[in-house]
Amino acid sequence: MGNTVTRDDFEWVYTEQPHCSRRKQILAKHPEIKSLMGPDPQLKWVVTAMVLTQVLCCFLVRDLSWKWLIFWAYMFGGCINHSLTLAIHDISHNVAFGNKDAMCNRLFGIFANLPIGVPYSISFKKYHVDHHRYLGGHGLDVDVPTHLEARLFSSPARKILWLFLQPLFYALRPLVVNPKPVGRLELLNLMVQLAFNAFIVYLWGLKPLVYLIAGSLLCMGLHPISGHFIAEHYMYLSGIETYSYYGPLNYITFNVGYHMEHHDFPSIPGSRLPQVKQMAPEFYDDLPQHDSWTRVLWDFVFCDSLGPYSRIKRTFPLAKQD
């Protein structure tokens, strides 16, 4: 259990990412799946309720001791904030207001971002497009760890540290792998977030802001919900790069566990992804899948064949070369 991982490089393949061809095959046999595409009218109300819940919690935790503040940040507030990041994921696909109202989706993403404490929504959208279009693309898909991460975090203890620091690496990796200019909406995201943070501190002091930000960092690090970061695309079986999870945590994560379905049909809201599997069971039932995100994390840490190198990578003509 103290050994380092056995892989010394990513799994390089010379095939196209599989989801475009799968989408064509599935729609050819099940055109009714198109009826699931389009905005989810309930999403904006669910997200608004979550944001207001966190504002209420800011009031409630204002006088807690630091020990209990961090406890509730990890056990409750962080779970809501992590769920909000996955709502932002859905919103980035324009499923809150539809493709015709793209700006409404961007602004609503900024609103959903407020309890997270760190501006994130607009930048996520900018890079997440590449994750779908160029899955595993060298120099393009910033979801894939860097060589430096893979070399440094190769033993169980260091993999635990890497999982704990996931929010930091997700924030900094794009600046190294595929830096892009900062846009006006990102500046708006930053200014709105800073104003909200300052307003919370003005009303109730520093502790509520710590509650929000600590919850975000802790629950996007070493936490059962964060198992989805690893479960989605890390290669637990040779040659398989996307996995679904159909367990109960989908109820609080906007069905992000239906990840094969999501990559096959990014324009279908998370709330309708289970219907994709029901309509086309022959394309999903026999695929490898995870049954526990906690088990995913345990295996990732203690299995010598798993680590940050356990990702499929491919090159695209437009990718920057090292």
Q: What is the pLDDT of residue 5?
A: 63
Stretches in the chain below the pLDDT threshold 50: 1-2, 321-322
Q: What is the pLDDT of residue 3?
A: 62
Q: What is the pLDDT of residue 4?
A: 64
CA 95 to mean position of chain CA atoms: 16
Q: How many CA atoms lie within 13 A of 253 on its CB side?
A: 23
Please report where in the chains the tokens 């830096």 appear, as a residue.
Answer: 179
pTM of the model: 0.94
Q: What is the pLDDT of residue 20?
A: 95
How many beta carbons lie within 10 A of that of residue 5, not counting itself? 22
Here the tokens at position 220 are: 């996007």
Please write the tens of the pLDDT for every residue from 17-60: 999 999 999 999 999 999 999 999 999 999 999 999 999 999 99
How far is the CA of 25 from the CAs of 30, 33, 34, in angstroms?
9, 12, 13
Give the relative orientation of helices 102-113 and 121-133 as an angle to the nearest 10 degrees.
120
Q: CB within 8 A of 170, min separation 6: which ones?
A: 220
Here the tokens at position 181 are: 């200019």
Q: What is the pLDDT of residue 1?
A: 40
